[in-house]
Amino acid sequence: MAAALRVIDVSKTYARSDQPALTATSFDVQPGEFTSLVGPSGCGKSTLLAMIAGLLMPDTGSVEALGEKVTGPGKGRAIVFQDAALFPWLTLERNVEYGLRAHGVAKAERREKVQQALRMVHLDDVASKHPYELSGGMRQRASIARALVLEPKILLMDEPFSSLDAQTRVVLQDEVQRIWLETKLAVVFVTHNLIEAAFLSDTVHLLSSSPGRIIKTYAIDIPRPRDEADPALLDIRHDMLERLRAEVTDAARRRAEIAEVTA
Amino acid sequence: MKQFAWQVVRKGWFIALVIFLWWLITATAWVDPYKLPGPGDVLSTLGALFTERALMHDLGATLLRLVEGFGIGVVAGVLLGVLTGAAPFLEDGIRPVIAGLQAVPTIAFLPLAILWFGFNGTAVLVITAFGTFKPMAIATYSAIHQVSPTLLMAGRSMGARGLFMQRTLIVPASVPNLVTGLKLSWSFAWRALMAAEIVVAGAQGLGGVLELGREIGAIDVVMAVIIVILVVGIVTEQLFFTRLERWVNRRWGLVGAR
How would DSSP label each residue in A251-262? HHHHHHHHHHHH
Inter-residue long-range contacts of A66-75, CB under 8 Å, 24+ positions, other chains counted: A66/A4, A66/A5, A66/A153, A66/A154, A67/A2, A72/B156, A73/B156, A73/B157, A73/B158, A73/B159, A75/A103, A75/A150, A75/A152, A75/B159
Share of chain A above pLDDT 90, in %: 63
Contact present, A85 and A62 (Cβ < 8 Å): no
Task: Kindly determine whether residue A88 and residue B252, on different chains, have CB atoms separated by under 8 Å.
Answer: yes
Q: How confident is the model at residue B249 (pLDDT cuts 50, 70, 90)?
A: confident
Helix extents (H) in B52-120: 55-86, 88-102, 110-117
In degrees, to the nearest 5, what angle opens at C-alpha B27 toward C-alphas B25 and B33?
80
The yes-or-no verdict on residue B7 having pLDDT over 60 is yes
pLDDT in tens, A145-190: 999 999 999 999 999 998 889 888 988 999 899 999 999 999 999 9
Q: Judging by DSSP bridges, how do beta strands A154-158 and A203-208 pair with one another?
A: unpaired
Any residues with CB less than 8 A from the CB of A207 and at least 6 apart, and which? A37, A38, A39, A43, A44, A45, A48, A213, A214, A215
Give CA–CA dist A160/A50, Å, rounded: 14
Burial label, A244 (beta-carbon count in 10 A; 0-12, 13-18, 19+)? buried
Least confident stretch, A52-56, B139-143, B204-208, B253-257: B253-257
The yes-or-no verdict on residue A63 having pLDDT over 90 is yes
Give CA–CA dist A48/A199, Å, rounded: 21
pLDDT in tens, A75-98: 789 999 988 899 999 999 999 999
Region A229-248 average pLDDT: 90
What pLDDT, on the 0 to 100 scale, is given for residue A123?
A: 92
Region A205-232 average pLDDT: 89
pLDDT in tens, A222-235: 998 888 889 999 99
Give CA–CA dist B247/B241, Å, rounded: 10
Find the chain B residues whose C-beta atoms sit closer than 8 A to any C-beta of A: 148, 150-151, 153-161, 164, 168-169, 172-173, 175, 250-253, 256-258
The string of DSSP letters for B13-40 reads: HHHHHHHHHHHHHHHTT-S-TTTS--HH
Give CA–CA dist B120/B212, Å, rounded: 16
Task: Kindly determine whether residue A136 and residue B258, on different chains, have CB atoms separated by under 8 Å.
Answer: yes
What pLDDT, on the 0 to 100 scale, is given for residue B257?
A: 41
Give CA–CA dist B139/A236, Å, rounded: 53
Contacts of B158 in chain A (CB under 8 A): 73, 78, 98-99, 102, 146, 150
CB pairs under 8 A between A and B: 73
Residue B151 C-alpha, separation from nearest chain A C-alpha, in angstroms: 6
The 3-state DSSP class for residue B179 equals helix
The yes-or-no verdict on residue B256 having pLDDT over 60 is no
- This model of the complex carries an ipTM of 0.85
Identity of the residue in A79, A90, A131 whose CB atom sits nearest the CB atom of B157: A79
Q: How confident is the model at residue B87 (pLDDT cuts 50, 70, 90)?
A: confident
The yes-or-no verdict on residue A263 having pLDDT over 70 is no
Contact present, A153 and A76 (Cβ < 8 Å): yes
Share of chain B above pLDDT 70, in %: 98
Residue A80 C-alpha, separation from nearest chain B C-alpha, in angstroms: 8
Among A80, A128, A132, most B C-beta atoms within 10 A, so best to mutate, is A132
Residue of B nearest to A131 (CA): B253
DSSP 8-state assignment for residue A203: E
Region A213-223 average pLDDT: 91
Residue A106 dihedral angles phi and psi, to the nearest 5° = -65, 155
Region A45-54 average pLDDT: 92
Among A98, A100, A114, most B C-beta atoms within 10 A, so best to mutate, is A98
What pLDDT, on the 0 to 100 scale, is given for residue B193?
A: 94
Region A102-126 average pLDDT: 93
Compute the Cα dihedral for B76, B78, B81, B87 and give only its sign: negative
Helix extents (H) in chain A: 45-53, 92-102, 107-120, 136-148, 166-183, 194-200, 231-262
Identity of the residue in B158, B159, B172 whose CB atom sits nearest the CB atom of A89: B172
- The mean predicted confidence, pLDDT, of chain B is 89
Q: Judging by DSSP bridges, how do beta strands A22-29 and A34-38 pair with one another?
A: unpaired
Task: Kindly determine whether residue B153 and residue A85, on different chains, have CB atoms separated by under 8 Å.
Answer: yes
Any residues with CB less than 8 A from the CB of A132 and at least 6 apart, and which? A88, B250, B251, B252, B253, B256, B257, B258
pLDDT in tens, B202-240: 778 899 999 999 999 889 999 999 999 999 988 888 888
Order across the sheet with A34-38: list the strands: A77-80, A154-158, A186-191, A34-38, A203-208, A213-219
Among B147, B152, B153, B157, most A C-beta atoms within 10 A, so best to mutate, is B157
The yes-or-no verdict on residue B258 having pLDDT over 80 is no
Contacts of B164 in chain A (CB under 8 A): 101-102
Region A101-119 average pLDDT: 93
Contacts of A78 in chain B (CB under 8 A): 157-158
